[in-house]
């Protein structure tokens, strides 16, 4: 596994990780206050932390679900338009296709990017969460302090620091922690240095020793290395020759390890360890697969698209079936704490999805579409645009990125052709009930063909 030295300082994820780390620290402090020994259980903190962060993202989730529900209605109409212009690659046909698709989006009061925006926002949060969960000591000072007690004990005991560094590096190389990579910008000479280069690594870590003590950068690095230790590592670590005549250091290590066992223990599992095939830790990958699969099914309930030719829907279904399996595989690559975060997140989304589906079933898709149209009209009204005006309808038909350079005359001709051939060319969703809110919303589309009675009245006129 790799070590992320101290807190992550990336331009985008760094600030997000710091905010999320502050939340985790607050949760840990809260539970520590009620603990007899002053230490909280990190597994419980991760679950509460996951629920809080996912709770803060509920508005984005609801927005994405609204788009999914409306997309169920829009998909057949959009697919019919794509099929209509399937073999037409000229600019005029592309313009007409885009304008007709824009009418559909306007009819339901949504933006083509509405389904992507929530995902674009939640993805950085997810990756920042991963950084925090992966390296808890960097974001929870109370836990980091336990590791620093070991380093301070080594410094104050008179242990030769150069010898200690060499012993730690050799010990790490000899264990199964074989792919630690150094990337701390404060130690520029060891940037991307592999643990396999022991001699070079020793020399570079020694740079961080000044005046008989470790500076902050080298101390943080050692904390990150120690945080990768599992039970068997601690036992062997205390037996290193460098501590043979320093029993006080061994006692400090033993005491710190006992504290860490309580902090990292969750139902008999050490959340800093990687799951194995032959013990209870296997339950984490299994739960990750099962809970995510159930979560996907619940969130997609009612969003099935009957159009088998919709490649987007097919891709989404395939991804929803593959991702749970992939999450189970990834669980074997990361500490149990990361897998616990995935499981807790899926459980939260299952509960959330049940309530969101109940709400949408009660309100109805028609009402959702009507509210979207109402919001859109209010925004246009604030800009001084009458959403019901003929000019607004023309703008709705021509406002796409691919026709910015098309002349007004050409656009008018296209709109005219659309009006004259609406009964032949424009797709009508026959699943919309006559007189429903969605039927009323079609008034935004001048080419909409209403019920048969409306057609007959138009013919009589």
Q: Say how far apart CA 256 and CA 39 lie, in whole Å.
A: 12
In this prediction, what percent of the chain has a pLDDT beyond 90?
22
Flag whether pLDDT at 438 surpasses 60.
no
Q: Say how far apart CA 221 and CA 234 lie, in whole Å.
A: 17
Q: Say how far apart CA 83 and CA 310 lie, in whole Å.
A: 10
Contact 430, 438 (CB under 8 A): no
Q: Kindly report, residue by residue over 86-130, the tens digit of the pLDDT.
A: 888 888 888 888 888 888 887 777 777 666 666 677 778 878 887
Class of residue 107 by CB neighbours under 10 A (exposed 0-12, middle 13-18, buried 19+): buried
> Among candidates 5, 43, 38, which has minimal Cα distance to 227?
5
Q: Kindly report, residue by residue over 371-415, the tens digit of the pLDDT.
A: 777 777 777 777 776 666 554 455 444 433 333 333 333 334 434
Flag whether pLDDT at 264 surpasses 60.
yes
Residues pairing with 214 in the sheet: 209
Mean of pLDDT values over 271-277: 86
C-beta atoms surrounding 461 within 10 Å: 5
Instruction: Tell the residue number behind the tokens 């945080």, with chain if given.
Output: 227
DSSP secondary structure, 186-251, as one string: TSGGGTTEETT-HHHHHHHHHTTEETTEE-HHHHHHHHHHHTT--HHHHHHHHT-GGGTT-HHHHH
Query: Residue 282 corresponds to which tokens in the numbers above?
Result: 């296997």
Helix axes 247-264, 231-238, angle to 10 degrees: 170
Whole-structure pTM value? 0.69
Q: Kindly report, residue by residue over 191-238, the tens digit of the pLDDT.
A: 333 444 455 556 666 777 888 888 887 888 788 788 878 888 898 899
In this prediction, what percent of the chain has a pLDDT beyond 70?
70
Q: Kindly report, residue by residue over 144-203, the tens digit of the pLDDT.
A: 999 999 999 999 998 889 888 888 877 877 766 544 444 343 433 333 334 444 555 566
How many residues would you count in the chain?
461
What is the H or E stretch that residue 117 is in? helix 117-134
């Amino acid at each position: 596994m790799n070590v992320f030295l101290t807190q992550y300082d990336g331009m985008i994820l760094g600030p997000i990780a710091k905010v999320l780390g502050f939340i985790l620290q607050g949760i840990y402090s809260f539970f520590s206050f009620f603990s007899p020994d002053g230490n909280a259980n990190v597994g419980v903190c991760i679950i509460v932390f996951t629920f809080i962060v996912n709770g803060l993202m509920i508005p984005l989730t609801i927005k994405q679900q609204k788009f999914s529900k409306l997309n169920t209605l829009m998909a057949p109409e959009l697919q019919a338009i794509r099929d209509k212009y399937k073999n037409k690659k000229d600019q005029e046909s592309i313009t007409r296709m885009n304008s007709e698709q824009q009418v559909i989006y306007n009819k339901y009061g949504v933006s083509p990017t509405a389904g992507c925006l929530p995902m674009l926002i939640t993805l950085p949060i997810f990756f920042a969460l991963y950084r925090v969960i992966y390296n808890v000591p960097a974001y929870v000072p109370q836990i980091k302090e336990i590791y620093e007690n070991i380093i301070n004990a080594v410094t104050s005991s008179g242990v030769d620091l150069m010898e200690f560094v060499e012993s730690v590096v050799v010990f790490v190389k000899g264990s199964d922690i074989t792919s630690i990579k150094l990337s701390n910008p404060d130690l520029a000479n060891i940037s991307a240095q592999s643990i396999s280069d022991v001699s070079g690594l020793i020399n570079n870590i020694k740079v961080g020793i000044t005046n008989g003590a470790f500076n902050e950068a080298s101390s943080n690095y050692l904390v990150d290395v120690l945080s990768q230790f599992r039970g068997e590592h601690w036992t062997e670590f205390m037996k290193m020759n460098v501590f043979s005549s320093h029993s006080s250091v061994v006692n400090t290590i033993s005491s710190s390890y006992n504290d860490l066992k309580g902090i990292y223990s969750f139902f008999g599992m050490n959340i800093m360890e990687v799951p194995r095939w032959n013990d209870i830790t296997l339950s984490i990958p299994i739960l990750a697969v099962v809970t995510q699969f159930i979560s996907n099914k619940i969130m997609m309930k009612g969003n099935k698209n009957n159009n088998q030719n919709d490649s987007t829907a097919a891709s989404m279904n395939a991804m929803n079936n593959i991702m749970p399996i992939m999450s189970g595989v990834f669980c074997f690559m990361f500490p149990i704490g990361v897998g616990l975060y995935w499981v807790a997140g899926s459980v939260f989304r299952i509960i959330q999805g049940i309530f969101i589906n109940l709400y949408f079933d009660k309100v109805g898709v028609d009402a959702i579409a009507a509210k979207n149209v109402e919001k859109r009209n209010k925004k246009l009204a604030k800009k001084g645009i009458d959403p019901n005006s003929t000019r607004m309808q023309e703008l709705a038909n021509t406002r796409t990125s691919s026709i910015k350079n098309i002349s007004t005359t050409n656009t008018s001709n296209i709109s005219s052709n659309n009006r004259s051939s609406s009964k032949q060319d424009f797709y009508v969703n026959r699943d919309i009930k006559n007189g429903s809110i969605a039927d009323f919303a079609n008034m935004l589309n001048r080419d909409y063909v209403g019920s048969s009675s409306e057609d007959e009245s138009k013919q009589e006129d």
